[in-house]
Amino acid sequence: MITVLCVLVFSWPAAVLAMPEVIGARIGAHPKSTRLVLELSEPIAYQVFTLEKPYRVVIDFPEIRWRALSNPMKSSTGLV
């Protein structure tokens, strides 16, 4: 039992480090659309769907780490 607990405890940090990470983000406002780009450390599977009340687009990611970005995203126009 102790061996199993040790394996779980010591493998947890490795699992966190192996998690995909957001390494950059930017927003682009265009005349008829707004574009949000997330740069990731590796390719991931995701799902996109819409909801109403209020209308919105949802991008569902698996568990990922969000690194603190050095340049905060700014958008003075668009729907973000």
Q: Is 19 a member of any domain?
A: yes
Strands 33-40 and 56-60, sheet pairing: unpaired
pLDDT at 20: 92
Q: What percent of the chain has pLDDT over 70?
A: 62
Q: Is 75 a member of any domain?
A: no
Q: Is 42 a member of any domain?
A: yes
**Of residues 45, 23, 25, the one with CA closest to residue 35:** 25
Does the pLDDT value for residue 17 go beyond 90?
no
User: What is the pTM assigned to this prediction?
Assistant: 0.59
Q: Is 74 a member of any domain?
A: no
For residue 55, give its domain range. Answer: 2-66
Q: Is 62 a member of any domain?
A: yes
> Total domain count for the chain?
1
Q: Is 20 a member of any domain?
A: yes
Q: Is 45 a member of any domain?
A: yes
Q: Is 32 a member of any domain?
A: yes
Does the pLDDT value for residue 43 go beyond 80?
yes
pLDDT at 44: 93
